[in-house]
């Protein structure tokens, strides 16, 4: 019953996101994700108090890495081979930093949760992302049919 309520909440909330600007949509998605993960892991208030600061720090650091990775790429024809090599090295460095960040995050989680619970977190995050992507695709399909 709780999951049905949560799913309904996610769907209704995401419809409201259409009329909001990008930053408020991002904040709303973050709030929905927080509720979804809290529910999916069945976090107690004490667990949530320890978990969310660690998770939010990790999430923000990963977002920063992904912004670096998606840096403006000029037309391939316009960049030199030297610049292309620099970009490849930057991608490799970002991947390395991402790996180290995940490793540190999982080490911190192990002080709070069992390995099974950490796997449950990963499954819950993946499920949330799939639902969000599905809803996004459906919304854009509906918009292009109008």
7-60: per-residue pLDDT in tens? 445 444 554 544 557 788 889 999 999 999 999 999 999 999 999 999 999 999
Question: Confidence band (pLDDT; 50, 70, 90) for 5?
Answer: very low
Higher per-residue confidence, 19 vs 120: 120
48: left (phi over 0), alpha (psi -120 to 50) or beta: alpha
Higher per-residue confidence, 50 vs 144: 50
Residues 135, 46: Cα–Cα separation, whole Å: 32
Instruction: Identify which of 43, 62, 142 has the alpha carbon closest to the alpha carbon of residue 102.
Output: 62
Q: How far is it between the farthest Cα atoms of the chain?
A: 58
pLDDT score for 50: 96
**Residue 26: phi, psi to the nearest 5?**
-60, -45
Per the CB < 8 A criterion, the answer to whether 59 and 101 are in contact is no
Report the mean per-residue pLDDT for the chain: 86
Residues 45, 43: Cα–Cα separation, whole Å: 6
Helices 81-110 and 115-145 meet at what angle, rounded to 10?
A: 130
Residues 25, 17: Cα–Cα separation, whole Å: 6
Residues 33, 27: Cα–Cα separation, whole Å: 10
């Amino acid at each position: 019953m709780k999951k049905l309520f949560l799913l309904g909440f996610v769907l209704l909330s995401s419809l409201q996101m259409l009329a909001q600007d990008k930053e408020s949509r991002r904040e709303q998605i973050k709030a929905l994700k927080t509720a979804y993960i809290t529910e999916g892991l069945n976090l107690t208030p004490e667990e949530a108090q320890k978990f969310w600061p660690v998770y939010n720090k990790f999430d923000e650091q990963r977002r920063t890495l992904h912004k670096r990775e998606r840096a403006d790429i000029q037309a391939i024809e316009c960049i030199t081979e030297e610049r292309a090599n620099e970009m490849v090295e930057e991608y490799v460095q970002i991947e390395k930093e991402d790996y180290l960040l995940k490793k540190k995050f999982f080490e911190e989680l192990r002080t709070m949760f069992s390995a099974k619970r950490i796997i449950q977190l990963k499954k819950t995050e993946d499920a949330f992302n799939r639902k969000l992507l599905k809803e996004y695709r459906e919304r854009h399909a509906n918009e292009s049919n109008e």
